[in-house]
Amino acid sequence: MIKVTIWNEFVQEQLCEETLEKFGFEGMPENEKKRNFARTEEIKKVHPHGIHQTLKELIEEDEEFKVCHIATLEMEECGLTEEVLDDTDVLVWWSHIAQDKVPDEIARRVQDYVLRGMGITFLHSAHMSKPMRFLLGTSGTLKWREGDFCRVWTTQPSHPIAKGIPESIELEEEEMYGEFFDIPSPESQVFLSWYSGGEVFRSGCTWTRGYGRIFYFQPGHETNRSYFNPSIRQIIRNAVRWTAGNQIRREKLECIHAEK
Question: How far, in Å, CA of 154 to CA of 217, rounded?
Answer: 12
252 pLDDT higher than 90: no
Please tell me the pTM assigned to this model. Answer: 0.96
260 pLDDT higher than 90: no
170 pLDDT higher than 80: yes
250 pLDDT higher than 80: no
Amino acid symbol at 52: H
Considering only CA atoms, give the Rg of the chain.
Answer: 18
pLDDT digits (tens, 9 = 90+) for 178-214: 999 999 999 999 999 999 999 999 999 999 999 999 9
127 pLDDT higher than 90: yes
**Interval 150-176 mean pLDDT:** 98
229 pLDDT higher than 80: yes
pLDDT digits (tens, 9 = 90+) for 92-125: 999 999 999 999 999 999 999 999 999 999 999 9
Residue 195 has phi, psi (to 5 degrees) of -120, 160
SS3 label, residue 249: coil
Domains (range + CATH), the chain: 2-137+204-243 (3.40.50.880)
* The pLDDT of residue 181: 98
Reference 210, options 148, 108, 93, 117; nearest CA is: 117
pLDDT bucket at 245, cuts 50 / 70 / 90: confident
Question: How far, in Å, CA of 108 to CA of 133, rounded?
Answer: 11
* The pLDDT of residue 73: 98
* The pLDDT of residue 153: 98
What is the overall mean pLDDT for the chain?
96
State the sign of the Cα–Cα–Cα–Cα dihedral 81, 84, 89, 90.
negative
Reference 161, options 133, 132, 190, 128; nearest CA is: 190
% of the chain at pLDDT higher than 90: 92
- 131-152 core/surface letters (b: 16 or more CB in 10 A; e: else): bbbbbbeeebebeeeeebebeb
* The pLDDT of residue 112: 97
pLDDT bucket at 253, cuts 50 / 70 / 90: confident
Label residue 178 exposed, middle or buried (CB < 10 Å: 0-12, 13-18, 19+): middle
Rounded (to 5) percent helix, strand, coil in the chain: 35, 25, 40
Question: How far, in Å, CA of 123 to CA of 94, rounded?
Answer: 5
